[in-house]
Amino acid sequence: MRTAICPGSFDPVTNGHMDIIRRSAALFDRVLVAVMENYHKPTRLFSAEERMEMLRRCAAGLPNVEVLSSGGLLADLAYEKGADAVVKGLRAVSDFEIEFQQALINRQLNPKLETVFLTAGSESMFLSSSVVKQVAQFGGDIRRFVPEEILDEVVARIAETT
- Per CB under 6 A, contacts with ligand ADP among 79-118 are 88-89, 91, 95
> Is residue 61 within 8 Å of 96, Cβ to Cβ?
no
Closest approach, Cβ 36 to ligand ADP, in A, equals 8
Q: Is 133 helix (H, G, I), strand (E, B) or coil?
A: helix
From CA 33, how far away is CA 78, in angstroms rounded? 11
Q: Which is nearer to ligand ADP, 9 or 110 (CB)?
A: 9
Q: How far apart are the first and last CA of the chain?
A: 46
Omega prior to 12 cis, within 30 of 0: yes
Beta strands across the sheet bearing 65-70: 65-70, 30-36, 3-8, 85-90, 114-119
17 is catalytic: yes
**Residue 130 burial (10 A CB sphere; 0-12, 13-18, 19+):** middle
Q: Determine if 20 is a binding residue for ligand ADP (CB under 6 A).
A: yes
User: Active-site residue 24, yes or no?
Assistant: no
129 in catalytic set: yes
Q: Looking at residue 45, what DSSP letter applies? A: S
Q: Does 128 bind ligand ADP (CB under 6 A)?
A: yes
Select the span of 5-13, 61-69, 74-82, 154-162 touching ligand ADP (CB under 6 A).
Answer: 5-13
Among 5, 8, 33, 54, binds ligand ADP (CB under 6 A): 8
Instruction: Examine the residue annotation and report whether 40 is marked as an active-site residue of this protein.
Output: no
Question: What residues from 26 to 65 belong to the interface with ligand ADP (CB under 6 A)?
Answer: none
Of positions 25, 65, 85, 120, contacts ligand ADP by CB under 6 A: 120
Chain residues binding ligand ADP by CB under 6 A are 8-10, 14, 16-17, 19-20, 88-89, 91, 95, 120, 124, 127-129
